[in-house]
Chain A
Amino acid sequence: MNDNVLSVSELTGVIRHLLTEGIGDVSVSGEISNYKQHSSGHRYFSLKDDDAQIAGVMWKSRTLRFVPEDGMRVVVHGRLSVYPPQGRYQIDVTAMTPAGLGDLHLAFEALKRKLDAKGYFALARKRDLPTLPHVIGVITSKTGAAIQDVLSTIRLRFPIATVIVRPAMVQGDGAAEDVAQAIKEMQGSKAEVLIVGRGGGSIEDLWAFNTEVVADAIYHSEIPVISAVGHETDFTIADFVADVRAATPTAAAMLATPTPVAELLRVVDEYAMRMREAMVDTITELSDMTEEFLQGGRARRLTERIHLYMQRADDLEQRGLTSIRHAIDLMRHRVDHAVVLCTTLHPLAPLRRGFAMIERNGAVLNAASPLSIDDTITLRRAHDVSTATITSTTQQDITEITHGKED
């Protein structure tokens, strides 16, 4: 026996050191097999080619933008590691892309990083969309479902708008340039919000919306832009730059018309109802005041006085007492005066007769509202409005004035 005997753990430690320090970071292409996503969210699989295979693990915390399947060719990036309990070496995968699309994905990630660094995606520059747009600009293919979805949604929700359609190539050579050009052309229109997009498709089909030229056009648009590219799971560079990202063209049309006409009709009805209720309240209040006046003491006492004077005048006349002719005339005069008083006591007449209405803080004061020293009041007369300050008040009931010297 010699002294160089190692424990299993010690040997594993040496192997681990050789693998992680000696090889370290790797990019490997291969075919996925035995792919399993554990309930913990971590993914375990093997990567193989015709002659070899190697275990791979991709922790839950790593972002994976697609669902790998057995047999799929992928490129993984990661670091070699060792799992001592099973004496296994494996790749700790940090990123995985489908091999066939690797270039596009790399280009996408590179542009995304570049524009993010330039502040193109900053939340601070996202603009609010107009709540009641008069003109909505739409940039998409003249054919296809997207344009129909957008137009039918706007027609249904918000037919008071005008839609300006700028047909654009949304895929193929020159598509990116055409979409960018369309966004620039819209700047000269009356559009208050732009919908830019197309229906779903493969990453190649959507590529125009992953280009810098389109990102620039959206970034420089004076008009808020809603991106509507593909279906819910497809994010494009255009989505990141746009003020608002919609999952589908239909969703974009809904975002562009946040207050549908049905809602506006409800608002109008609500205002009409409020106005009607307020007017009914006001008229009811006036009518109550008139009723109160007519049933109140002042009117009744005046009527009683008129009747009394009339009766006394009639009595005197019937008795033929000519010597008191003068008394009769006096009595008639008092009756006439009382009648005039009565007719002029109509609730709306006082202002015309020189009386004033008193308001405090915009509200009319009735007799029961107390006034205090230094209160600022408004005197509203038939033809003018004045402001006054109370300097003194004395309690005095109105019946003392009208009745104090009776009979």
Chain B
Amino acid sequence: MAKKTDQPTIEQQLKRLEEIAMLLDAGDAPLDEQLRSYEEGMALAKQCREYLAAAELRITSISGDDASV
């Protein structure tokens, strides 16, 4: 099995990106909060890109007697 980590899933990361984009689109949060969110969003986007680009398919096998081979 793949190693279990506490990394947020790609769905959670995409959801967070959407939240930040919406917050910045609205543009009514205090400026320093917007700046902090922007930095978080950009770092997250970079992390997502790296994760997606570097991913390698993991293949595991469970038992079974494939007598036809």
Contact = CB atoms under 8 A, between A and B. Distances in A.
B17 A271 contact: yes
Nearest to B47: A268
Given A275-B21, A282-B27, A163 B11 contact: no
Interface in B51-69: 51-53, 55-69
A286 interface: yes
Contact of A265 (B11, B52, B59): B52
A268 B57 contact: no
Interface string A267-285: 1110110111011011001
Contact of A275 (B38, B57, B64): B38
Contact of B57 (A141, A142, A161, A274): A161
A43 interface: no
Nearest to A154: B57
Given A267-B14, A275-B21, A155 B41 contact: no
A165 B68 contact: no
Contacts, number: 134
Given A165-B61, A261-B52, A272-B45, A286 B31 contact: yes
B25 interface: yes
A19 interface: no
Contacts of A154: 57
A274 B22 CA distance: 9
B55 A261 contact: yes
Contact of A282 (B34, B55, B68): B34
4 A-B pairs with the lowest CB-CB distances in the bound complex, closest first: A278-B24, A167-B66, A271-B17, A272-B45
19 contacts: A132-B11, A141-B68, A142-B66, A143-B69, A160-B10, A162-B1, A162-B60, A163-B58, A168-B66, A169-B65, A174-B67, A269-B49, A274-B24, A275-B17, A275-B20, A279-B38, A282-B27, A282-B31, A362-B26
